[in-house]
Amino acid sequence: MAVANLTYQPQFQLLGLMDGADAHPLLFLLFLSVYLLNALGNLSMVVLVRSDGALCSPMYYFLGHLSLVDVCFTTVTVPRLLTTLLHPVQAVSFQACFAQMYFFVALGITESYLLAAMSYDRAVAVCRPLHYGAVMTPWRCLALVAASWAVAHLHSLLHTLLISALSYPRSAPVRHFFCDMTVMLSLATSDTSVAETAIFSEGLAVVLTPLLLVSLSYTRILLAVLGVRTTGGRRRAFSTCGAHLVVVSLFFGSVLSVYFRPSSAYSARYDRLASVVYAVVTPTLNPFIYSLRNKEVKGALKRGFRWKAAPQDK
């Protein structure tokens, strides 16, 4: 930590999603509803994947981990967002601010690599169906998930240490609903060139790698689908892949637009809106787009409801 941060403990004033000191009860109800929907959808997927034997394929293994990451990802930021909507300008300590940053970045990067693993799984299933079991072995699936978590936490640790080592004023307003990297860089009073270089080099590589893998996987899927002769088969494949690509595009597009530009181009209003897309909207959409449209998941839900209702019928 910088010497200036050792002589006094900076404290940050979290201003929230909206400017001004007015409460926003309608927005509070909206984001509370979205958060509860997120928790319901993602936790339901975690429980289904863990409890239903029919959902034992690699695709559902990745979905279970993605759902767990999504509910944790939103929990890092949304409760504080809800608080600032009712009581703007929340004081946040130095430790709490950078702890939130660490987990937010780690979970966000984990999600991006899990999305890449899921796209790879779908590409193998579509392009090499006869070799699917030999390629997507349990050990390979475990390795992909473990690598996602490991890379994400090492990346987050590096950037959290670099940014927390900068000097900050004794009390600084944070024009955001959480302690984001770009916001903290704009508040720093010391030289940020090292941290910005790390973001634009190592950070860009870490974020672009899963995006490249997703692009390559869906390109292979597209080429394979174009080779399908039946119109119905093409329509079903394009419908599923199209929905997946919308979520992936929203997530990666908003992330790239926020983090990979110089701090001189920082815009508080744009960053807050873009952050809502990848931190709240996409984690809420994921379980419904990836899972609840699936016949096997619907079947598992019906079996779960029948199992709960069975004791009452006796």
Handedness of CA 162, 168, 174, 178 (dihedral sign): positive
pLDDT given for residue 246 in this prediction? 76
Residue 178 backbone phi and psi in degrees, to 5 = -155, 170
Indicate the pTM of the whole model: 0.87
Q: Using CA atoms, how far apart are residues 192 and 181, in angstroms rounded to an integer?
A: 11
For residues 261-265, give the mean pLDDT: 61
pLDDT over 80 at 296, yes or no: no
| 8 Å CB contact between 48 and 297 | yes
Type of residue found at 304: G
Give residue 63's Cα distance to chain centre: 13
What spatial distance separates the first Cα and last Cα of the chain, rounded to whole Å? 64
pLDDT at residue number 314: 44
pLDDT at 22 over 80: yes
* Portion of the chain with pLDDT greater than 90, in percent: 38
User: Are the C-beta atoms of residues 169 and 8 closer than 8 Å to each other?
Assistant: no
The tens digit of pLDDT for each residue in 219-245 reads 888 888 777 766 666 666 666 666 677
At residue 168, the 3 state secondary structure works out as coil
Task: Provide mean pLDDT across the span 281-309.
Answer: 71
Using DSSP, state whether 3 is helix, strand or coil: helix
Average pLDDT over residues 300-311: 61
So what's the pLDDT on residue 291? Answer: 65
